[in-house]
């Protein structure tokens, strides 16, 4: 292990990342957080990292201090030559971000869908273009990557372009590809009449690569062509290679052998840590929790709750979609509010039915429930800092970040034992007081309700155990250090796989 660590310290890679999201520029979920953090961690170790994302309508060049990198860039898509402009921003720490401006594809309010949550019909063209344009940026700027790291279906096609269009290119021909799957449920499945535009050749439109039930499947094609595939937690990697897991991808991921596995996401503790969080009213640590009480008071006041430090405050933050399990949370927390002495706040948006239910809770439970429909970064920090328990009833969860934030803030997670949630939360042991949170194994309303009740009874009846769990939770280290080392090892394996691929007779 020490020899491997020294090797990683000595090897410096050129890394090109292509992604549809990146904090602080564009975000719908955890993908943006990972792409916003991992490049900086890699650069801190001496690697040269370039990231390519779309310049969506909301990314104003003036506001974000973007500079023109390429006044015009031609990108061949099948037999169509698309023209675009490329902006850039030097992040000041060894990371450069490039922004693809193509108003026909990215000059829209939504990233993937319209205000009614309908997918844009030209999504396969939009993100096929992003995949191809991201590689063209490397060619036109003369940046020769050792690794092309792509994320989810939106940039998965880049792994295929490397081995079809660019296999003998002097800039890209030797680059190995790594595909990170942040959520296997979203695969980029679209009608096949777009395939000619992608220019990947109909010989790649088969069941092992880009074809699923006579439709394009961008993620599956990326899996076929990538030199290495990973997902964002070991538990999720196991789940999506089981016979009933993976949303149809299990056999294709299993076929990757030891070139598919999980690497747990890290947390940027410069942003998400109560010792240095600038967005909360008082800072605190495991050795001095007085600031957490001040944050709880501020949170109660913000939502119009009774200001009472003795009442346990439960919280949730997230997108109101089926995966996140809020259809379980709505009836479970309603029952808990009716039968237990608790408070509850929620921040999120999505399903209109759930927005109505959670949005009306303050009126039905005045002084005991609060809701904010939408998203607010500062409020999310206050919730993590001020709540006592954080509820994550996800039906499945590739990694999850909010439970990692919650651990750091001493806000004990209540989670469905799946994927990254199961990997990162240690279930409470009522006999010893050990643990960092509360788990349930069956995604039902009753299971969630009784687990909320278990947490509530621990708060009231076993305060010593609560204190011990909070201290243990806040001592957990999910920083990027370990995860970054694992990604560097993945890059080394991908490079070895690419060399072996290049040596095959053709």
**pLDDT tens, residue by residue, 204-244:** 999 999 999 999 999 999 999 999 999 999 999 999 999 88
Q: How many degrees, rounded to 5, is the angle at CA 229 between CA 271 and CA 118?
A: 70
DSSP character at residue 25: T
Residue recorded with tokens 């829209």: 108
Alpha carbons 420 and 406: distance in angstroms, whole number: 14
**pLDDT tens, residue by residue, 277-334:** 999 999 999 999 999 999 999 999 999 999 999 999 999 999 998 899 999 999 999 9
Q: Contact, 478 vs 266, CB < 8 A? A: yes
Distance of CA 80 to the CA centre of its chain: 33
More confident residue, 8 or 452: 452
Over 80: is that where the pLDDT of 9 sits? Answer: no
Asked if domains 2-266+481-503 and 290-476 share a fold, the reply is: yes
pLDDT at 7: 47
pLDDT at 201: 96
**pLDDT tens, residue by residue, 111-168:** 999 988 889 999 999 999 999 999 999 999 999 999 999 999 999 999 999 999 999 9
Pairing of strands 438-440, 412-416: parallel
Q: Contact, 212 vs 195, CB < 8 A? A: no
Q: With cut-offs at 50, 70 and 90, classify the pLDDT of residue 29.
A: confident
What are the boundaries of each domain within the chain?
2-266+481-503, 290-476
Over 70: is that where the pLDDT of 389 sits? Answer: yes
As assigned by CATH, the class of the 290-476 domain is alpha beta
Q: Give the CATH superfamily of 2-266+481-503.
A: Glycogen Phosphorylase B; (3.40.50.2000)
Question: Considering the chain, what is the average pLDDT of its residues?
Answer: 96
**pLDDT tens, residue by residue, 418-457:** 999 999 999 999 999 999 999 999 999 999 999 999 999 9
Q: With cut-offs at 50, 70 and 90, classify the pLDDT of residue 506.
A: low
pLDDT at 322: 86
Identify whether 24 is preceded by a cis peptide bond (ω within 30 of 0).
yes
Over 80: is that where the pLDDT of 5 sits? Answer: no
Tokens of 402: 């909010």
Mean pLDDT across 171-187: 97
Q: Contact, 56 vs 19, CB < 8 A? A: no
Strand partners, 229: 179, 260
Q: With cut-offs at 50, 70 and 90, classify the pLDDT of residue 3.
A: very low
Q: With cut-offs at 50, 70 and 90, classify the pLDDT of residue 8.
A: very low
């Amino acid at each position: 292990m020490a020899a491997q660590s020294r090797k990683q310290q000595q090897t410096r890679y050129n890394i090109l990342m292509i992604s549809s999201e990146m904090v602080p520029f564009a975000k719908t979920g955890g993908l943006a957080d990972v792409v916003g953090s991992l490049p900086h961690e890699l650069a801190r170790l001496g690697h040269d990292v370039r990231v390519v994302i779309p310049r969506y309508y909301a990314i104003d060049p003036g506001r974000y201090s973007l500079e023109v990198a390429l006044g015009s860039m031609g990108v061949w898509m099948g037999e169509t030559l698309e023209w675009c402009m490329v902006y850039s921003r030097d992040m000041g720490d060894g990371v450069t971000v490039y922004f693809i401006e193509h108003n026909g594809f990215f000059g829209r309010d939504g990233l993937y869908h319209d205000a009614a949550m309908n997918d844009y019909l030209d999504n396969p063209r939009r993100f096929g273009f992003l995949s191809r344009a991201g590689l063209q940026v490397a060619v036109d700027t003369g940046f020769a990557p050792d690794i092309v790291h792509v994320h989810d279906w939106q940039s998965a096609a880049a792994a295929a372009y490397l081995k079809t269009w660019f296999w003998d290119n002097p800039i890209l021909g030797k680059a190995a590809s790594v595909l990170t799957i942040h959520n296997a449920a979203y695969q980029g499945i679209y009608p096949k009449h777009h395939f000619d535009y992608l220019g990947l050749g109909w010989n790649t439109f088969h069941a092992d690569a880009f074809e699923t039930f006579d439709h394009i499947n961008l993620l599956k094609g990326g899996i076929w062509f990538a030199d290495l595939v990973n997902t964002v937690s070991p538990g999720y990697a196991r789940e999506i290679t089981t016979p009933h897991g993976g949303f149809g991808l299990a056999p294709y991921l299993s076929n990757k052998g030891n070139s598919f596995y999980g690497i747990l996401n890290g947390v940027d503790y410069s942003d998400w840590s109560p010792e240095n969080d600038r967005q909360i009213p008082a800072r605190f640590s495991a050795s001095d929790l007085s600031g957490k009480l001040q944050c709880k008071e501020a949170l109660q006041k913000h939502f119009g709750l009774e200001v009472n430090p003795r009442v346990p405050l439960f919280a949730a933050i997230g997108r109101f979609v089926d995966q996140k399990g809020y259809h379980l949370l709505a009836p479970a927390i309603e029952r808990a509010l009716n039968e237990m002495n608790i408070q509850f706040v929620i921040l999120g948006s999505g399903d209109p039915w759930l927005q109505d239910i959670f949005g009306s809770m303050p009126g039905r439970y005045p002084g005991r429930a609060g809701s904010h429909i939408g998203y607010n970064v500062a409020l999310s920090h206050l919730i993590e800092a001020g709540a006592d328990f954080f509820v994550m009833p996800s039906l499945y969860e590739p990694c999850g970040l909010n439970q990692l934030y919650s651990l750091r803030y001493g806000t004990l997670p209540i989670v469905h034992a799946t994927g990254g949630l199961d990997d990162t939360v240690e279930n409470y042991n009522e006999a010893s007081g050990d643990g960092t949170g509360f788990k349930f194994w069956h995604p039902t309303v009753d299971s969630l309700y009784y687990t909320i009740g278990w947490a509530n009874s621990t708060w009231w009846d076993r305060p010593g155990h609560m204190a011990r769990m909070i201290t243990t939770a806040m001592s957990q280290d999910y920083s990027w250090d370990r995860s970054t080392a694992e990604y560097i090892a993945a890059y080394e394996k991908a490079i070895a796989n690419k060399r072996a691929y290049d040596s095959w007779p053709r």
